[in-house]
Amino acid sequence: MTLIDGKLVSSVIKDRVQAEVAVLKDKTGKVPGLAVVLVGEDPASAVYVKNKNKTCEKVGFQSLSHNLPADTDEATLLKLVGDLNSDDSVHGILVQLPLPKQIDSQRVLEAIDPRKDVDGFHPVNVGHLASGVKTLAPCTPAGIIEMLDHYKIDIEGKRAVIIGRSNIVGKPMAMLLLQRNATITICHSRTKDLPAVAREADIVVGAIGKPRFVTADFVKDGAVVIDVGINRVDGKLVGDVDFDNVAEKCSFITPVPGGVGPMTIAMLMQNTLTAFKSIHNL
């Protein structure tokens, strides 16, 4: 069994982005700008935003943080998004989810200029992804593809089972694997005999949001197991995969923490660089 090191792969991507930013800065005199909007004081979101700002500084981006109070109304947030859309120094806009209940998250996501939608959640980018058009893809699924490639794990012709059908991970993961010629099955809470379906897979992606849900019974010998889950159990971070038991059966597996998690911010940097190049026709 080989452990897939997300910290290592994310460092490779960030180093690659940093090197390209330096070249583009010399060439154009400009650098990518990432605007992160945080509404409220959710502790996990605040830590995540802090890490994003730190990574922006490392790779040479301009980082812009907008922290709004929890009682901010939808109109105020939409105006800010409009201002960021019009700001030539901003190439990526990320509105941190979840948003307070008085704000329609979908309306806010749809207000972001698709060219600056570095989360890959705008319907235009979702449509491009489904159509196989090159686009800004959601960071976590895109990061998983990068990890598979880094470890030279073949995707073409393989059977992939994704456990979870969210718009953030499950569905875009299926689209990205399909683009790489895998055969896809998406499973969810209504899937009958889910373990039997999962056992057919060469690649299993656990993204259902239930701690240690994917047990050894879900995994055939030699499968590749990607754990997207982050759950806190008795003060400890655990994934959606029962790591200790599953690791004995698989060929590759991601740990939690240190697996998929670090890839999300790395791919956010990559998407922002991609948006910068697209906006400036570079």
Kindly report the CATH number assigned to the domain that includes residue 70.
Answer: 3.40.50.10860
pLDDT at 46: 80
Alpha carbon 69 to chain centroid distance? Answer: 26
Catalytic residue, from 14, 52, 158, 171: name it: 52
Strand, coil or helix: 36: strand
Joined together, the tokens standing for residue 51 give: 């890490």
**Max intra-chain CA distance, the chain:** 57
Say yes or no: 107 and 184 in one domain. Answer: no
Catalytic residue, from 96, 116, 158, 242: name it: 96
pLDDT at 215: 97
Total structural domains within the chain: 2
Please say whether the beta carbons of 96 and 39 come within 8 A: yes
Domain extent at residue 195: 139-261
pLDDT at 42: 79
> Would residue 217 show up in a list of annotated catalytic residues for this protein?
no
> Would residue 119 show up in a list of annotated catalytic residues for this protein?
yes
pLDDT at 72: 97
Catalytic residue, from 113, 117, 119, 202: name it: 119
Alpha carbon 243 to chain centroid distance? Answer: 21
Query: Residue 51: inside a domain, yes or no?
Result: yes
Please say whether the beta carbons of 177 and 155 come within 8 A: yes
Say yes or no: 242 and 159 in one domain. Answer: yes
Say yes or no: 144 and 252 in one domain. Answer: yes
> Would residue 52 show up in a list of annotated catalytic residues for this protein?
yes
Binding-site annotation: residue ranges: 164-166, 230
Cα–Cα distance for residue pair 199/85, rounded to 1 Å: 46
Binding-site annotation: residue ranges for NADP(+): 164-166, 230
Say yes or no: 247 and 169 in one domain. Answer: yes
Angle at 30 between CA 27 and CA 35, to 5 degrees: 150
* Number of Cβ atoms within 10 Å of the Cβ of 101: 8
Query: Residue 22: inside a domain, yes or no?
Result: no
Query: How does pLDDT run along the chain (282 residues), one tens digit per residue?
Result: 999 999 999 999 999 999 999 999 999 999 999 999 999 987 878 888 888 989 999 999 999 999 999 999 999 999 999 999 999 999 999 999 889 999 999 999 999 999 999 999 999 999 999 999 999 999 999 999 999 999 999 999 999 999 999 999 999 999 999 999 999 999 999 999 999 999 999 999 999 999 999 999 999 999 999 999 999 999 899 999 999 999 999 999 999 999 999 999 999 999 999 999 999 999
Strand partners, 107: none
